[in-house]
Amino acid sequence: MRKKSFGTKRIVSFLGLLLFALLDGSVYAQRQEFTINSSWQFTLDCEPSMSETVNLPHTWNAQDAFTDKGHYYRGKGTYEKELFIPNEWQNKRLFIRFEGANQSTRLWLNKQLVGEHHGGYTGFVFELSDYIRTGEDNELMIEVDNRHNPDIPPLEADFNFYGGVYRDVSLIVSNSVHFDLASEAAGNFLIQTPEVTADKAEFQVESVLVNGSKSKRGVQIKLNIFNPQGEILKTLSQERKLSAGSQNSIRFSDFIQNPALWSPEHPHLYKAELTVTDKKTGQQLDEMSSSFGCRWFSIDAEEGFFLNGKPLKLIGVNRHQDYPVLGNALPNALHRKDYELIKEMGSNFVRIAHYPHDPDVYRLCDELGLLAWSEIPIINEITNSTTFTNNCLQMQREHIMQFFNHPSVVMWGYMNEIFLRMVFNRKLTDDDKEQIIATTVELAQQLDDETRRLDPDRLTAMALHNNQVYNTTGIADIPDVIGWNLYFGWYDATLDDLGAFLDKEHKRYPKRPILITEYGPGADTRIHTENPKPWDYSEAYQLKSHQSYYRQVMERPFVAGMTAWNFADFGSAGRQDTRPRINQKGLLNFDRTDKNVYHYYQALLLETPFVYMERHNPGQYFCDADSDGNGQLLLHVFSNQPNVELLVDDSQILNQAVKDGITEFQLTLPIGHHILKAKAGAVSDQYNLDVYSRSSLNQLIDKQAVCVNVGSHCDYYDPLTKEIWVHDQSYTKGEWGHVGGTVYQRNKQKFQGTAINITGTDNDPLFQTMQEGLSEYRFDVADGSYRVTLLLTEPNLKASSSLIYNLTDETDELAADLRIFDVLVNGHMVLYNLNMARDFGAAHAVAISFEAKVQNGLVIGFENKAGQAVLSGIKVEKIR
């Protein structure tokens, strides 16, 4: 390890340790724990000559996972730091605790390997005692590797595998006699509540007490139980004689009479505090504490989930842990913000996907009253190796032991869509598939057995994708609960097919409890339409989908619950949707700004009075006009009240009933500015909007540019320029639109052009849709001078960049992948032999502007040389 200057880091570390040295002796004798997050020297293996000072939590993929393909670095990173160890700690035991580092971690202290850990989402502790030098600086070095490793799950998944020490790291200083730290529980002790009723709750507390000294010690161990008000409810104690170098199991059990039960409405928390005291001197040697709750639950295949004896429909979200600019290296304050938003939505349930999250997340679920399904990241496929199996089992042990005490956790999951890759891999033989099935089912059984051994009181769970292989192989019969990840109306069939699927599954497997663990389409807040279709990424289709799912689930008592995919958009480097490298199925955007569907769930789930009017395109609506020239628009209002009163410009009053959290107002408004106020009981919401007429778009050109989203039935809002690109239409005399052509569809079963990443722009949706084979685009504008901008892209990634001077038999083979055309304005050539694959590259955003003098209307013509002309957008501005 190379020697570096750590002057600043040494000072920071020394001041932190000095604080503890100044404490009085009785406190200093106990355990001390503090973060050592600040000022690490960080180096990537791919850039060994470049080093920077970073604070933890940290990931090196916060930016590069969102750049063009090939920049997403998965490899090794090194963190180094000098830590001053005072002489006063000579007889102490020192530990370092990691809350999480992805995905393989090795730690050196003073150039000696202390330990290594595999798995990126659970905590781990290394003991440093045998490697430290007191009274001087000690060199710490952490190596983290997030490369693909066939023996460490997840092998691949639809989220980013951020590398780095992305959670807190702490130093722990303890006496020789201390509660166990360096185990799979990572310092946690276990609190069980095996029998709970409204009258009495049994609790059991288990820990391991370590005597790291070379002599026998007589100690007293005491357990204090605090009620939810913070008052001591019970005190239990026992005396033990500890052999030198021994580990000793400690167990307490007793009852709480008339317990305050934990629930989403009343998340009452008790606290257990363990202390150990030297019997001879009376000195307290160590202390640890943990919250816990008293509740009982069950699940029934016919009637769903029950908590404390009462039926409870589980409704909530999945949640990934990343955030813009930070990746997965979040401060605890942002975890709290997320879970507060989940609770404010009205959720009572969360699936912590697809891996254990930060320890603060589980504390927040306890405090806020959110029931939880927590799982380990065995996703899509497995490796048939002993090492992979052992790593999976270790992950589940760590997962359970570290989060055991949290009353919010009711289900332990261990696999997600595990046959997904096998189903879609056409190269596999039948023998290959049989082998994969056999080893996967065997691993599932081992994980289920281990989960039940460690925690017989909670439910085991597994999530499946829509394929009967899970039933035919029997793997779906292993866990207590099955979660179906169902995307009807998106990846599969139609929205209304959901109910038929659920009814069929329940009829075939009447004793199997089921949840819907994933559902929902992608949605982009820049895209608006009143004519939603699958794969248009509009908020309108997202709302339509969620309405349909909620209705169909609530009609079926045997469905225990549903968790929307996902709480918020999240990073996924392989994604090519309307926002590349982002999975957009969230109820909130990646930055946690809201989508309309979030408020729909508030109307469904909140008990306090609520009303909210949907928002689009920052209040600008381009509407079809009636015969009087007024704009017509559809407005959704979300409320949990029986009726909504809508005031238009403080004069016109409309009143409508609310059903299932929503009502629709079909409004006819004069062109211009309007103020809408929605009132529902004692609550209200106000929304300012401007109404424009699509049919009079040509008349607007004197005031602003006219922008058309060609080939799309959706309006598109550019948040940078504040321009709205209105949806396309066929030409009508006196108006505007395309002549000829068809909407380009890469996949004929989906409605929106192409989902590929368009380079050179942030406005991908504008370029992903287009008209193909059109002959003209017309605007019947007044005579004058105009600037015309065409938006184009080549959607065919295999498109030929060849030149064609004359078509012959030799070019026939190229014709299918060749696109060359001319562009004319009012009969005058402006672009000749345009071949976008040749001139700009496929899937690249092209904007070409030119000026034109117009008489008797503006006509942009397209003449094909090879293939068919395409047009994604057109912008017309009057030159003043």
- Looking up tokens 């166990």, which residue turns up? 180
Integer CA distances (angstroms), 500 to 357, 715, 811, in order: 35, 34, 51
DSSP 144: E
- Would you state the torsion angle of the CA atoms of residues 840, 844, 847, 848, taken in this order, to the nearest 10 degrees? 20
CB atoms within 10 A of CB 859: 18
Q: Which two tokens stand for residue 569?
A: 């958009």
Q: Of 753, 253, 829, 313, whose CA–CA distance to 535 is shortest?
A: 753
Active-site entry in 417, 450, 614, 772: 417
Contacts of 663 (CB under 8 A, 6+ apart): 636, 637, 639, 644, 656, 657
Integer CA distances (angstroms), 189 to 402, 405, 534, 608, in order: 8, 8, 49, 38
Query: In terms of DSSP bridges, do strands 51-54 and 40-44 run parallel, antiparallel, or are they unpaired?
Result: antiparallel
Q: Of 97, 79, 81, 78, whose CA–CA distance to 10 is shortest?
A: 81
Q: Estimate to the nearest angstrom the gap between the alpha carbon of 540 and the chain centroid.
A: 21
Q: Which amino acid belongs to residue 608?
A: T
Cis peptide before 267 (omega within 30 of 0): no
Q: How far apart are CA 187 and CA 183, in angstroms?
A: 7
Q: Is 308 left (phi over 0), alpha (psi -120 to 50) or beta?
A: left
> For this structure, is 417 an active site residue?
yes
CB atoms within 10 A of CB 747: 11
Q: Of 446, 482, 443, 442, whose CA–CA distance to 464 is shortest?
A: 482
SS3 11: helix
Q: Estimate to the nearest angstrom the gap between the alpha carbon of 287 and the chain centroid.
A: 36
Q: Rg for the chain (alpha carbons), in Å?
A: 31
| HSE-up of residue 125 (Cα within 13 Å, Cβ side) | 22
Q: Of 387, 350, 390, whose CA–CA distance to 368 is shortest?
A: 350
Q: Which two tokens stand for residue 537?
A: 């990424």
838 with 803: CB under 8 angstroms?
yes
List residues with catalytic annotation: 417
